[in-house]
Structure 1
Amino acid sequence: MTTALGTGGAEMALFRVLNALRPKGVQPLVVSIMALQGEHFPEMGIEIRSLDMPRARLNWQAVSRLRAIVKEFQPDIVQGWMYHSNVLAHLARYFAASQRHIPLAIAIRSSMTIFAQEKRLTRLVVHLDAWLSRWADRIFYVSRLGAQQHTNFGYSSQQAMVIPNGFDCSVFHPMPEARLSVCEELGLSPNCPLIGLIARWQPLKNHRGFFAAAAMLVRQYPDANFLCIGRGCSADNPEVLACVPEEIRHQVHLLAERGDIPRLTAALDIAVNASHAEAFPNVVGEAMACGIPMVVTDVGDSAWILDGCGRVVMPRDDFALSDAMAALLALPQHERKQLGHQACNRIVEHFSLAAVADHYFQEWSSLLRRPD
């Protein structure tokens, strides 16, 4: 059970895990509360159903649809993935249970750093999810910070564990040829600094701060160019254009949602995650797997993932963000490459998709072996 289907980090993490488990005989059915979003979502051949709930608002048609799906599929285990879908996963287990116990696991894919700013309905759902968590057989957290925050909030501490995101290093890896092809596509000199932020357009992702830092950076590096990639990051979005300083508009490339993220990431000199809050951001691990040094804000597990392979700054500090980008650009090229090499090695050694997927498989298997 997932809340939505799009190219966001949580959704992609789910599908990568399920795809990696095909050789083990896992037969998944993904049920999304909301309809498919975006044009570049890779279904990976996994069966998908949707409850078509508008803005994740429960209605009897959706409940009836969920019951029919569960009765048809007859799952051995139910896995929730994000707050809203965790709640409905309890209902899915109820529909699935006949004369045997159906194990239920839920997953928390975010931190609670800005919980007070969430919509009232979302806050109510999180309170409900916390209360229901005592009946879950497993609680999977994607980040250490998220586990601590949610336990303090009232989520059950029983059967809770952290399983970080995993990264497919056969997809995200260094590509020396990517830079030239991207520069040719954008009509840029192959020698100009390329700095990228990959995130959907959302206040939490802090594109405004990134653009402000970029405007400061070009005073030192006037030929720097900035790539913004993600749903909503397009020239036809007036909100985006309004926060791009006039003096750097010709150097900001709004590429919207793309299906070639590995290539675009590998083309960068520096990748940036400027978010105000995160749990375990995929973009950090993906850039590191491509051998790209990063500047990240100190939110969620970002600094722990980076582990010195770049620069860490406090959130909401545009000056520090700009200074950190400048510091990386000032490094001799061989030092920056060495930093990227260290980043790539860290992902391969500690966050491989195969190891993370196997962790889920072992936990699901242990639940299925338990007596009713």
Structure 2
Amino acid sequence: MRIMHVITGLDTGGAEMMLSKLLSATNGGFSHVVVSLAGEGTLGPQILKLGIPVHSQHFRRAGAPNPLRALSIVRLARHFRPQIIQGWMLHGNLMASLAGVGLSPRAPVLWNVRMSLDDIAAVPRLTAAAIRVGALLSRYPAAIIYNSHIGAHQHEALGYHPGKRVVIPNGFDCQLFRPHDPSRQQARAELGISDETIVVGLIGRYDPMKDHAGFLHAAAAVARAHPTTRFLLAGSGVTGQEPKLQNLIAELGLHGRVLLLGERSDMPRINAVLDIACSSSWSEGFPNSIGEAMACGVPCVVTCVGDSDYLVGDTGLAVPARNPQALAQAICQLIEAGPAARRQLGAAARRRIESEFSLPAIARRYEELYRGYLEPPKARSIP
């Protein structure tokens, strides 16, 4: 089966990582090609190593869209002759629909929506416009895949076709992400952290919706109650070169307590360092960083946005978004529960990922969905 994936870009992010993981977990019988509206990013080389072609369109040059690249995507589709066209994220979905125009035979176009809209007023103007265009065109794709139930409801409230909904959550590689004491000890030694120190982590790119400022305000409150606690932040843009982060750390008196690691390629080792993982986002779909931490046996504190609290279930704590005091109280609750209780919660978190969100199981759901569109109409079923 020939599947053409059209995605906004291939830098490290939740949707991009899920595409990469899905491609690595797909069984035989599928021939993939990936079209990136931007460049190869950080994940393009990994996909190429799988033997899957990546076509970078560089849709924006010098900040302005190049409409001629749209014609290139149409030509790629006619050359590859896909049996399924899978869009990823807002602009990828729209370009996937364009790629399907004029194909003979017609290929079903599927969209993949990876965001929630917990605060639509805070969404950038151009993104909000793309969401509204998507709503107008949403009756045309064969299906709209959402990675969260909340995201599906929120988009449908804005006009997305409710009859197209398919919810498939993110999947996690439980062989790659797993509890590993030797990695914990080694990584802590490299970072200058003692075995006894409690480490609270936030993994995610530097983006307003991740609310790093809210996390740091919570960290300051935690540090007042538990002065030896350290705080680890990792993700694209989360570095000492970001002046807003540095200024806030100084303002809150957190100098020497916060590690800013930037983007890392060794996330299983970084997760092994943590005693508690957090998501402070005010908007989220289905957080990869929390699922990966859970697979590593780390108890989590999340905000009640997207499907974050559904993912954690009863293995961690959930608090309102944009409430650093509540976030700090939940972190302190896990610190004060002690190491045995945290280990118990972490073990339950891993079991939940293994039973509900393993990568092989999620990949099978995509495969079944794709195969369903090549079956006779009466036999077709959507999981």
Q: TM-score range by the shorter chain?
A: over 0.9
Instruction: Choose the corresponding residue for 1:215, options 220, 224, 227.
Output: 220
Task: Give, as a single letter, the amino acid of the residue that structure 2 aligns with 1:118.
Answer: V
d(CA) in 1 for partners of 2:281, 2:45: 23
d(CA) in 2 for partners of 1:353, 1:309: 20
Secondary structure at 1:190 match in 2? coil
Task: Give, as a single letter, the amino acid of the residue that structure 1 aligns with 2:336.
Answer: A
d(CA) in 2 for partners of 1:104, 1:29: 15
Instruction: State the 1:41 CA deviation.
Output: 7.0
Match of 2:139 in 1: 134
d(CA) in 2 for partners of 1:83, 1:40: 19
Secondary structure at 1:34 match in 2? coil
Match of 1:229 in 2: 234
d(CA) in 1 for partners of 2:371, 2:226: 54
Match of 2:155 in 1: 150
Match of 1:84 in 2: 91
Task: Give, as a single letter, the amino acid of the residue that structure 1 aligns with 2:192.
Answer: G
d(CA) in 2 for partners of 1:41, 1:111: 29
d(CA) in 2 for partners of 1:370, 1:91: 25
Instruction: Choose the corresponding residue for 2:349, options 328, 343, 348.
Output: 343
Identity fraction in percent: 39
Q: Tell me if the contact between 1:86 and 1:106 (Cα under 8 Å) persists in the aligned partners.
A: yes
Are residues 370 and 160 of structure 1, via their aligned partners in 2, closer, same or farther at CA, if it must alter by over 3 Å? farther
d(CA) in 2 for partners of 1:192, 1:40: 37
Number of paired residues?
369
Q: Deviations over 1:53-85 (max 9, x none)?
A: 128854232123212322322211100111111
Q: Which runs of 5+ in 1 are unaligned?
A: none
Instruction: Choose the corresponding residue for 2:185, options 174, 180, 183.
Output: 180
Match of 1:115 in 2: 120
d(CA) in 1 for partners of 2:179, 2:185: 13
Are residues 330 and 212 of structure 1, via their aligned partners in 2, closer, same or farther at CA, if it must alter by over 3 Å? same
Task: Give, as a single letter, the amino acid of the residue that structure 1 aligns with 2:245.
Answer: V
Instruction: Choose the corresponding residue for 2:39, options 26, 35, 38.
Output: 35
Match of 2:259 in 1: 253
Match of 2:364 in 1: 358
Secondary structure at 2:195 match in 1? coil
- Is 2:16 aligned against 1:14? no
Task: Give, as a single letter, the amino acid of the residue that structure 2 aligns with 1:297.
Answer: T
d(CA) in 1 for partners of 2:168, 2:322: 28
With normalisation by structure 2, the TM-score equals 0.92
Q: Deviations over 1:239-262 (max 9, x none)?
A: 221221452121111100000011
Q: Deviations over 1:133-177 (max 9, x none)?
A: 111111111100011111121111223111111111011111112
Match of 1:306 in 2: 312
d(CA) in 2 for partners of 1:39, 1:137: 27
With normalisation by structure 1, the TM-score equals 0.95
Q: Tell me if the contact between 1:6 and 1:41 (Cα under 8 Å) persists in the aligned partners.
A: no
- Is 2:97 aligned against 1:93? no
